[in-house]
Chains A and B, each alone.
Chain A
Amino acid sequence: MPITLVKEKYQSKVGQVIIGATPDQGGTRTKVIVAGGDSALPFLHFEGKVENRPVIAMEVTDIIPPWNDVIKEQFGDVLDNPIAWAKKCVEEYNADMIYLKLIGANPDGENRSPEDCARIVKEVLGAVGVPLVVVGCEDSDKDNEVMAAVAEAAAGENLLIGLAEQDNYKSITAAAMVHKHNVIARSPLDINICKQLNILISEMGLPLNRIVIDPMIGGLGYGIEYAYSIMERARLGALANDKMLSMPMICTVGYEANRAKEANALAEEFPGWGELQDRSILWETLTATALLQVGASILLMRNPAAVRLVQQNIADLMEANA
């Protein structure tokens, strides 16, 4: 009995965003990253084209991070030096991009000046050839200053900068427009606010192919299903030609997964949970792999061992199944 393969026909596809610029494009990167472009549901190669494989950006901070030892031990002595740390991510762990978090700018912490932040960004740009994702310290007023300085200092590099949010999107959008960068539009697990923010940003004049959606995921066990279904809706919206949901999606996997007690508590404390070594890695890995199934284009990750597993998972998924 012959079986006909059922194939969905979609009207449209996910938009493409180019991050980074090589010397002939006005930047200094050795390669650029293209995110998005799929014309089918994730990895359904038989239904449409999976244009670009999802990429992993590894997290680097400008202060020593308060992470657990399972992660820290893998980095050795580079955690107090963003330049060496970024190099290690690219050279040893094959990170596609560097995700630079300027936490040191926080007025309640180091209170690093915008110029100082811009200098760190320039130094990381000098140390590695991969494109950069740069975000501030989650203090919106300070971030507006910091990101303006960063955008100006790295003009031409076509960074992906964040964060534009519903109540604070203008300064960063303006900075990205003037200095030609891409913007992360972050909305709180709400497809409607996500769309509204994209409309507001694009009405300022930033082209749609310079916006990346951050749906503000929840980690495994802590609301990942909300993120999952919202990302699925966004992908279906993109395929149904909803231009304001057609941007590629970025997920803060490392941050969310490693907030969980399950990713940090020792086995002595919870014998039923097994060894932390495996658990910590898998908690971040599973958060990432689940979100790959609903169309994550850029995964922001921490744990090198988890990165390695997810790289393998992406490679497997990219094999044709037509």
Chain B
Amino acid sequence: MAQYQITFMPENRAIEIEAGTSLLKAASKAEIYIKSGCGGAGTCGACKVTVVSGEVETTGTGNLNPDQIAHGVRLACQSFVQGDLTVEVPPESRLQEHQVLMGDVKKGILQESTNDILDKYGHKPLANKIRVQLPEPTLTDNASDWARLSVELKRNLPYEKNIEIPLSVLRDLPEILRQANWDVSLTLTDLDDKYTITRIEPGNEQPPYGLAIDIGTTTVVVYLVNLKTGAIEDKQGTYNKQAKFGDDVISRIVYAVETPDSMQEIHQAVIDTINELTDKLLARQNLIQADLTAAVVAANTTMTQLFLGINPRYLRLEPYIPTVSLTPSVPARELGLHILPEALVHSYPSVASYVGGDIVSGALITDMANKEEVTLFIDIGTNGEIVLGNQDWLVSCACSAGPCFEGGGINFGMRAMSGAIERVEIDPETLDVNLTVVGRILPVGICGSGLVDCLAKMRKAGIIDRAGNFQLERSSYSARLRQTPDDKEFVLAWAHQAGGDKDIVITENDVKNLIRAKGAIYAGIRSLLQMVAMDIDLIDRIDIAGGFGNYLNVPDSVQIGLLPDLPAEKYEFIGNSSVKGACLALLSQKAWREAADLARKITYVELSIGTTFMDEFVSALFLPHTDLSLFPTVEG
């Protein structure tokens, strides 16, 4: 195969690449990550790059206009290296590094609740550390090192269980015992029927740490947990590097099953994402990898399988069967995580193909399975999972809302981070806009809570009708409402008021996307209620999870028909419940055992069977809904 040199601008980073490689893959090899919502199918148009010099072979031009093509703009996934190249990657095509907003306390209309349910389960972590002083061997006390250690350990441990030592640790044993003068600290993985020694070091009082990992389709969050005190010492979050293979789980599965290589590549992408965050945490806290003695992962079924390197092919083929629900715990070295190699990595069990461990984790946090009252738990994210029930019964479904509320698929959509518009006020007369921006800086885009707000306010101001169509006749009132060659749009912030060089707008297409996303969530709730023949008023509590930053505006959500028109006091926002559940499992064996029971208890409802969901979906594609009687408090 011929090799060519490709240089990426503005970094001026050059790499050697084989002829016929797509620019998307080449960029990723150069560690420049390009957005690719459709997973390289050439349909989303997110991966625009400019070929400055050299020749590429182009197989498709997607939505590019002739003017762009003339200026060398190409879709990276549809362009293949044919010679030496220089390629410019514009900022809007990049998967930006970003911080995930995590837990700075803020006054919101629906503030994230802080429920500490660890008290209920008791503190008994999945790994702990014990310090022992061994008697030195002599000619008369000539037991082996391991026998000596076991005897002493048994004396110090609270209950009688087998103790095992992996070969890798056994190899270190003789030297460390003698270096430390027989005073050693042992890290033990404590699982139901046995102790396993995962680390041996000279005696010290440093606590053991663990990682709680939430692998979202769009973002990955890692918490560093002190297993001794139960305190969350630090947090890190970023985009899931798998995003370059597609925005949603389906396009990633499609990508993963193309060739054996792509499976490895997509598995490695998530491992790299986690390792990157782990390394940052270690550096910030002055720890070494061996100090991280356990990890619990909460992720949807697809993410879990990709994380473990299990082929996800059959998740998306009828009848949608996962390889495993109760995932085995595996030593970190098998996955290449940057933690103690012998440390066990536990993944939350899943319910079905599209209701996974992140939801079991969230449901555990809500404690819904132990209460008499009926709870509706909704994760407003890409997959839109919903669980309904109480101590007697639990049903769940996934309604695939898409990445809208996380900023995906919206022109100026972004995560809830600095520069994101999170509140919008629109004057119904003049159409003037008043914005609230995270971090009180100039706006660069709009996040989920801002989008919900925006939709409600645009409807109120008569900018859109109930179907989301722009009312261009109102453009005589304000220059903010305008028709462009591509679409109709409403200007939220003029370029001179925004942190970029472009006007921040919301287009009719964005609005339709949002309506589909909110329609999917509401239709999912209605379908689930119909399955159990239950009236919406019988729900006692609604727990909302999702990446809305720190709050979701419930009145606005009801206004657009995203959430049922129920009294505000029934609602509670629980933030990233998935990572919280992972923390809980790290710190409590009882909670971890209960997670397995919980996953078994939840019945999965397949929405693709029958007409219920489709019917409900179409009726929810309206503001707030086709059946206005479902929203008595929403004015016309």
Binding site for B on A (CB under 8 A): 166-167, 190-193, 195-196, 199-200, 203, 244
Q: B619 near A192 (CB under 8 angstroms)?
A: yes
User: Which chain A residue lies CB-closest to B618?
Assistant: A192
Q: A193 near B618 (CB under 8 angstroms)?
A: yes
Q: B618 near A199 (CB under 8 angstroms)?
A: no
Q: A192-B626, A196-B467, A196-B626 are in contact. Are A203 and B636 (CB under 8 A)?
A: yes
Give CA–CA (A203, B621) in the complex, Å: 17
Give CA–CA (A167, B465) in the complex, Å: 12
Flag B150-166 by CB within 8 Å of A: 1 or 0 each: 00000000000000000
Q: Which 5 A-B pairs have the closest CB atoms?
A: A192-B619, A192-B618, A195-B626, A192-B626, A196-B622
Residues in A neighbouring B467, C-beta threshold 8 A:
166, 196, 200
Give CA–CA (A193, B614) in the complex, Å: 12
Shortest distance in angstroms between A103's beta carbon and chain B's nearest beta carbon?
Answer: 28
Please give 6 more A-B residue pairs, beta carbons under 8 A apart, in addition to A191-B615, A192-B619, A196-B621.
A192-B622, A195-B619, A195-B626, A196-B467, A199-B466, A199-B622
Flag B609-636 by CB within 8 Å of A: 1 or 0 each: 0000001001101100011100000001
Residues in A neighbouring B626, C-beta threshold 8 A:
192, 195-196, 199, 244
Give CA–CA (A167, B627) in the complex, Å: 20
Residues in A neighbouring B618, C-beta threshold 8 A:
190, 192-193
Residues in B neighbouring A244, C-beta threshold 8 A:
626
Q: B466 near A200 (CB under 8 angstroms)?
A: yes
Shortest distance in angstroms between A132's beta carbon and chain B's nearest beta carbon?
Answer: 30
Say which residue of B465, B621, B628 sits within 8 Å of A200 (CB atoms). B465
Give CA–CA (A195, B619) in the complex, Å: 9
Binding site for A on B (CB under 8 A): 465-467, 469, 615, 618-619, 621-622, 626-628, 636
Q: A203 near B465 (CB under 8 angstroms)?
A: yes
Residues in A neighbouring B628, C-beta threshold 8 A:
199
User: Which chain B residue lies CB-closest to A190?
Assistant: B618
Would you list 8 pairs from A and B whose C-beta atoms are within 8 A, ordered by A residue? A166-B467, A190-B618, A192-B619, A195-B619, A196-B622, A200-B467, A203-B466, A203-B636
Give CA–CA (A167, B626) in the complex, Å: 16
Shortest distance in angstroms between B472's beta carbon and chain A's nearest beta carbon?
Answer: 10
Give CA–CA (A35, B469) in the complex, Å: 31
Give CA–CA (A179, B111) in the complex, Å: 53
Shortest distance in angstroms between B620's beta carbon and chain A's nearest beta carbon?
Answer: 9
Shortest distance in angstroms between A65's beta carbon and chain B's nearest beta carbon?
Answer: 34
Say which residue of A167, A192, A193, A196 sits within 8 Å of B466 (CB atoms). A196
Shortest distance in angstroms between B613's beta carbon and chain A's nearest beta carbon?
Answer: 12
Residues in A neighbouring B466, C-beta threshold 8 A:
196, 199-200, 203
Residues in A neighbouring B619, C-beta threshold 8 A:
192, 195
Give CA–CA (A60, B636) in the complex, Å: 41
Give CA–CA (A195, B467) in the complex, Å: 12
User: Which chain A residue lies CB-closest to B471?
Assistant: A170
Residues in B neighbouring A195, C-beta threshold 8 A:
619, 626-627
Give CA–CA (A191, B615) in the complex, Å: 9
Give CA–CA (A203, B619) in the complex, Å: 17
Shortest distance in angstroms between B522's beta carbon and chain A's nearest beta carbon?
Answer: 13
Give CA–CA (A286, B380) in the complex, Å: 49
Shortest distance in angstroms between B38's beta carbon and chain A's nearest beta carbon?
Answer: 26
Shortest distance in angstroms between A263's beta carbon and chain B's nearest beta carbon?
Answer: 29
Please indicate which of the listed interface residues A166, A195, A203 has the most CB atoms of chain B within 10 Å of its own CB: A195
Shortest distance in angstroms between A238's beta carbon and chain B's nearest beta carbon?
Answer: 14
Residues in B neighbouring A191, C-beta threshold 8 A:
615
Q: A200-B465, A200-B467 are in contact. Are A192 and B636 (CB under 8 A)?
A: no
Q: B465 near A192 (CB under 8 angstroms)?
A: no
Residues in B neighbouring A190, C-beta threshold 8 A:
618
Give CA–CA (A200, B636) in the complex, Å: 11
Shortest distance in angstroms between B358's beta carbon and chain A's nearest beta carbon?
Answer: 31
Residues in A neighbouring B615, C-beta threshold 8 A:
191-192
Shortest distance in angstroms between A110's beta carbon and chain B's nearest beta carbon?
Answer: 31
Shortest distance in angstroms between A155's beta carbon and chain B's nearest beta carbon?
Answer: 23
Residues in A neighbouring B469, C-beta threshold 8 A:
167
Give CA–CA (A191, B621) in the complex, Å: 13
Shortest distance in angstroms between B520's beta carbon and chain A's nearest beta carbon?
Answer: 14
Residues in B neighbouring A166, C-beta threshold 8 A:
467
Give CA–CA (A65, B615) in the complex, Å: 38
Give CA–CA (A200, B621) in the complex, Å: 13
Give CA–CA (A203, B636) in the complex, Å: 9
Residues in B neighbouring A200, C-beta threshold 8 A:
465-467
User: Which chain B residue lies CB-closest to A167?
Assistant: B469
Give CA–CA (A123, B627) in the complex, Å: 43
Shortest distance in angstroms between B479's beta carbon and chain A's nearest beta carbon?
Answer: 22
Shortest distance in angstroms between A206's beta carbon and chain B's nearest beta carbon?
Answer: 14
Give CA–CA (A2, B544) in the complex, Å: 57
Residues in A neighbouring B636, C-beta threshold 8 A:
203
Give CA–CA (A193, B617) in the complex, Å: 11
Shortest distance in angstroms between B384's beta carbon and chain A's nearest beta carbon?
Answer: 20
Give CA–CA (A199, B466) in the complex, Å: 9
User: Which chain A residue lies CB-closest to B473?
Assistant: A170
Give CA–CA (A200, B464) in the complex, Å: 11
User: Which chain B residue lies CB-closest to A242?
Assistant: B627
Shortest distance in angstroms between B71's beta carbon and chain A's nearest beta carbon?
Answer: 33
Shortest distance in angstroms between A242's beta carbon and chain B's nearest beta carbon?
Answer: 8
Shortest distance in angstroms between B575's beta carbon and chain A's nearest beta carbon?
Answer: 34
Shortest distance in angstroms between B262's beta carbon and chain A's nearest beta carbon?
Answer: 39
Shortest distance in angstroms between A148's beta carbon and chain B's nearest beta carbon?
Answer: 16
Give CA–CA (A195, B469) in the complex, Å: 16
Give CA–CA (A199, B629) in the complex, Å: 13
User: Which chain A residue lies CB-closest to B629?
Assistant: A242
